[in-house]
């Protein structure tokens, strides 16, 4: 996607150097970070400098490849080093399936050689971008001219290597000249909707409004919302889906008002080893993300301020699980399917080159 007229991916490699867009600085500053260390990549994932299922997966893959290059050349030290590195990478964000998908593939390649590990990591990133583009192709017909679309969290191109998932159909529809309007939930406490989704939509020239997280039901009651599309961080074998906290509420309310609720995600987000949503590990993040907010003053200097009752504590689950019964369908790179067909997509992915 373009930023100030230049095409960027969210995460990419140049030799043994990895570059990524620092999402914590957006939308106030566009900064690209550079590293050749898998430990730095772990820190970037853990601190949400890179966030979003596909972007996390791509950076985790590159981190695994960097670890292979950093490891001692001879066994058993080589295998021990990359095995420990894999565990460290996978501990950064326990809910995101794409992270584990990437480390599995790159680790297996790394057992053969560091060069094959980097090639595998690049393949993970390239496929993430192509899958996201296909999601836009399949999701576009769902968006009628004049539609109002609600999103939650950010599942645009910043959340993936390129194109995105929930926003990929929106970008495709916009390029085709359809008139549409996007309502972007703030998505507290990290405000991904207000900071990232809105920034993306503004860059693309797509009409939109940032709306409070608790405004969805009122907007639906007024007939403003025709379609809800969100991303996913992990999809269980039965179709239960983990996504940013608050997604479950949108799905329940959408069902009440008869509004289609779609999950847009590549098949790499499906976890066939996870039977239902109850087995998905939900990441609990630091309470300070709820208690404090950060932003610039008039001079552009960033400040962090307390916005809650001093002395009070906060609960900060990063995700919730939406049962499959509330999901109209999944928009994937293989097409649109209903929840009960989700495992067929896993088989199709393994069958494809």
Classify 322 as helix, strand or coil: strand
Interior CA angle at 129 toward 338 and 228, to 5°?
40
DSSP letter assigned to residue 284: B
Alpha carbon distance 239, 328 (integer Å) = 11
By C-alpha distance, which of 69, 61, 11, 27 is closest to 295?
27
Q: Report CA 119 to chain centroid distance, whole Å.
A: 23
The number of C-alpha atoms within 13 Å of 297 and in the hemisphere containing its C-beta is 5
Do 1 and 23 meet the contact criterion of CB atoms below 8 Å apart?
Answer: no
Which residues are marked as active site?
233
Q: CA–CA separation, 157 vs 321, rounded Å?
A: 23
Max distance between CA atoms of the chain, in angstroms, equals 66
Strand partners, 34: 19
Say if CB 275 and CB 312 are below 8 A apart: no
Rounded to whole angstroms, how far apart are CA atoms 5 and 7?
A: 7
Helix axes 53-70, 38-46, angle to 10 degrees: 160
């Amino acid at each position: 996607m373009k930023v100030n007229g230049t095409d960027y991916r969210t995460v990419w490699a140049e030799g043994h150097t990895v570059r990524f867009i620092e999402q914590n600085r957006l939308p106030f500053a566009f900064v690209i970070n550079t590293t050749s260390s898998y430990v730095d990549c772990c820190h970037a994932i853990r601190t949400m400098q890179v966030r979003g299922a596909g972007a996390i997966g791509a950076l985790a893959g590159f981190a695994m490849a960097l670890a292979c290059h950093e490891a001692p050349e001879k066994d058993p030290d080589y295998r021990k080093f990359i095995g420990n590195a894999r565990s460290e990478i996978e501990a950064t964000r326990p809910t995101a399936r794409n992270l584990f998908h990437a480390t599995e593939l790159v680790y297996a390649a790394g057992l053969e050689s560091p060069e094959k590990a980097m090639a595998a990591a690049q393949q993970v990133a390239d496929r993430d971008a192509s899958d996201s583009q296909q999601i836009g192709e399949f999701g576009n017909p769902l968006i009628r001219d004049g539609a109002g679309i609600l999103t939650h969290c950010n599942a645009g191109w910043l959340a993936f290597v390129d194109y995105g998932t929930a926003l990929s159909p929106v970008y495709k529809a916009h390029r085709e000249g359809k008139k549409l309007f996007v309502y972007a939930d703030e998505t507290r406490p990290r405000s991904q909707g207000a900071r990232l989704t809105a920034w993306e939509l503004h860059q693309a020239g797509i009409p939109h409004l940032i709306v409070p997280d608790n405004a969805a039901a009122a907007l639906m009651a007024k007939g403003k919302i025709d379609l809800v599309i969100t991303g996913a961080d992990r999809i269980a074998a039965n179709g239960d889906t983990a996504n940013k906290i608050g997604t479950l509420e949108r799905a329940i309310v959408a069902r009440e008002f008869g509004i289609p609720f779609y999950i847009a995600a590549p098949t790499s987000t499906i976890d066939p080893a996870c039977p239902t949503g109850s087995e998905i590990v939900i990441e609990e993040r630091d309470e300070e993300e709820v208690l404090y907010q950060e932003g610039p003053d008039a001079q552009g200097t960033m400040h962090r301020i307390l916005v809650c009752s001093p002395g009070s504590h906060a609960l900060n689950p990063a995700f919730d699980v939406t049962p499959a019964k509330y999901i109209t369908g999944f928009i994937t790179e293989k097409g649109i399917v209903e929840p009960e067909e989700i495992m067929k997509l896993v088989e199709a992915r393994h069958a494809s080159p």
